[in-house]
Amino acid sequence: MAPHRAQSGRFNSKIVLEELNPAELLNRLLLLGGFLMRPSEVLEMNRRQVRDLVSSYRTSNPRVFGSVLHGTDKEGSDLDILVDVLPGATLLDLGGLLDDLESLLGIHVDLVTPRDLPSKIRAKVLEEAKAV
């Protein structure tokens, strides 16, 4: 989201803040204050919104895997999310979902589909992944 500028050329922070949902605002304030949250904490605060975003694109069944699933995530880690692609979905759906997830959560998201997973780990990830 591009910051808004008042006619004076300065940022109009009131407009920018009004555009953020409460979870996104909290995430940004924590980052500005030098506080980083673990992706598992960010996800916990935003589970419903993540599920809503996934269903608003032609995707379904959001699952978490990787360090968040195993409890080894740290501040600055990414969030690994696996989704199923519904008929008619395009790369624009996946790109839009990824962009919206990262905007909502304020952290890097690794968004993959089962086909994106390397064959060496696909079966294990699909077996272990937990619903968001």
Q: Read off the pLDDT of residues 46-58 as tens digits, 9 standing for 90 and up.
A: 999 999 999 999 9
Classify residue 107: in a domain, yes or no: yes
More confident call, 34 vs 91: 91
pLDDT in the model for residue 37: 84
Inter-residue contact 23 to 48 (CB < 8 Å): no
Three-class DSSP labels, 3-63 = CCECCCCCECHHHHHHHCCHHHHHHHHHHHCCCCCCHHHHHHHHHHHHHHHHHHCCEEEEE
Classify residue 95: in a domain, yes or no: yes
> Where residue 106 falls among pLDDT bands split at 50, 70, 90?
confident
> Where residue 10 falls among pLDDT bands split at 50, 70, 90?
very low
Classify residue 15: in a domain, yes or no: no
Percent of the chain scoring above 70 in pLDDT:
73
Range of the domain at 65: 37-131
Q: How many structural domains are present in the chain?
A: 1
Taking the whole predicted model, whether its pTM rises above 0.85 is answered as no
pLDDT in the model for residue 36: 74
pLDDT in the model for residue 11: 44
pLDDT digits (tens, 9 = 90+) for 111-131: 999 999 999 999 999 999 999
pLDDT in the model for residue 8: 43
Q: Which of these, 19, 17, 26, 58, lies nearest to 44 by C-alpha position?
A: 26
Classify residue 27: in a domain, yes or no: no
